[in-house]
Structure 1
C-alpha cells in the first residue's frame, strides 16, 4: 500500500480503501493530508523562486537599456540601496545559489534566468498533478471513513 517513496499510492482505488479497517483508513488519510501539505509548501516555494527570477530577468533587461556611466541605485539587500555608476552593462554577476556568483554576459544572464524559470514552471506543473492525486486519495479515504463510522454508530 505504499509507493516507492514510502507514501500513499497516488492511484489508490476506492475498492482498496473500502476493504481497509478504520485505523488503516485514518492512517491513509493522515498520511495523504501530510503529503498534500508538504507539496503545497513546495508549490509556494517554487512560486516565490519563479517570481524572484522573473524580477531578475526584468532587471537585466532594464539594465541593458541604460547607457554606460549612468548614475543609479545599487541594491545591497532587498531594502538597502547605495548610489553607484554603471560601469559595464555587458557583464553581470549571476547568483547561482548558496552564495556563489558567476560572471556572465548580459545575454548569458538572461538565458540563465529564462532556463531556470522554465524549469521551475515545469516542476510546478508536475507537483500540481501529484498534489491533486494525493488530495483525491485523502478525500476518498475521508469519505469512506465517514461512511464506515456512520454505519457503526447506532441510529437515533
Structure 2
C-alpha cells in the first residue's frame, strides 16, 4: 500500500475503480457458482424423487420455470444429463445423481476459493479507500 500512497489522487481513484471492478466481477462469479450449485442440488433431489415413481405414472413436465405439459414416465431407470453446449448423455438415475454430486462438490470447492479471493480483494479495496481518504485530507489541509 505504500506504493499507492505515493500516487496522485486521480491515480489512486483509478486504482480504486479497478479494484472495485474486480471485486464486482468476483461477486458475480460467486453468485453464479451459488446458483449453479443450487440447480444441481435441485436436480439431484428431482432424480431421487423420480426413482420413487413407477413407470407409466402421469406427471407434469417443466418446459420453462412457469410452463408445464402433461407427460407419462416411460423409464425411471434412465435419464438424460445435460453436460453443456447442447450435449446430453444417457445415464442411470444413480449415475445421474453421482454426476450431480460431483458437480456440487466441484462448485462448492470453487465457491470457497472465490470467497477467499473476494475477501482479500475487499481488504485491498478498503486499504485503497483509506489511502484515498488520507490523500484527500492531505490535499485539503495543504490548501
Return the TM-score normalized by structure 1.
Answer: 0.85
Alignment-derived partner of residue 79 in structure 2: 92
Please give the root-mean-square deviation of Cα atoms over the aligned residues, in Å. 1.6
Ranges in structure 2 where 5+ consecutive residues have no aligned partner: none
Stretch of structure 1 that moved more, 73-82 or 45-54: 73-82
Alignment-derived partner of residue 109 in structure 1: 96
Alignment-derived partner of residue 80 in structure 1: 67
Q: How many residues align?
A: 143
Give every structure 1 segment of 4 or more consecutive aligned residues whose post-TM-superposition deviation is greater than 3 Å.
none
Find the residue that maps to 1:79 and give its secondary structure: coil
Alignment-derived partner of residue 137 in structure 1: 124
Aligned-residue offset at 1:155: 7.4
More helix by share: 2
Stretch of structure 1 that moved more, 47-56 or 72-81: 72-81
Return the TM-score normalized by structure 2.
Answer: 0.92
What CA deviation, in whole Å up to 9, does each residue of 1:91-147 have, x standing for no partner?
001111222211111111001100111111111111111111111111101111111
